Structure 1
Amino acid sequence: MDYKAAGAPKPAKGKPRHSEHNARGSEKNPLNRKDDKSALLARMKAAAEKGNKD
């Protein structure tokens, strides 16, 4: 008897079951778009100031 072939097949590895809604290269997030670092920095500073006040 071939015990190696017995049982259910193993699932595929390394591939997600679904695609993200904002994945790189999609309509919402094109590949050539540059992330705005200055806006991110401003949000981080505002969050830090808000945290210091509390």
Structure 2
Amino acid sequence: MDYSKSGAPKGPKNKPRHKEHNQKGSTKNPFGGKSDKSALLERMKAAAQAKDDKST
């Protein structure tokens, strides 16, 4: 008897179980979209300034 053919079939492999909310290619995170480093730098400077003002 060929026991390799018995039982339930195996499911698909290399497939995610669910979609991420911010996966590449979605409306929230489109392909080719670059983050604006100047905006990040401004936020970092503002946070550092607020921390300095709070500590003194």
TM-score by length of 1: 0.58
Structure 2, gaps ≥5 residues long:
52-56
Give, in whole Å, the separation in 2 of the partners of 1:37 and 1:5: 56
Partner residue, 2:24: 24
Higher Rg of the two aligned structures? 2
Structure 1, gaps ≥5 residues long:
50-54
Deviation readout 1:11-48 (Å, 9 max, x if unpaired): 211110211111111111111210234527x3xxx6xx
Give, in whole Å, the separation in 2 of the partners of 1:14 and 1:37: 34
Moved over 4 A (4+): none
Q: How many residues align?
A: 45
TM-score by length of 2: 0.56
Identity of aligned residues (%): 60
SS of 1:14's equivalent in the other structure is: coil
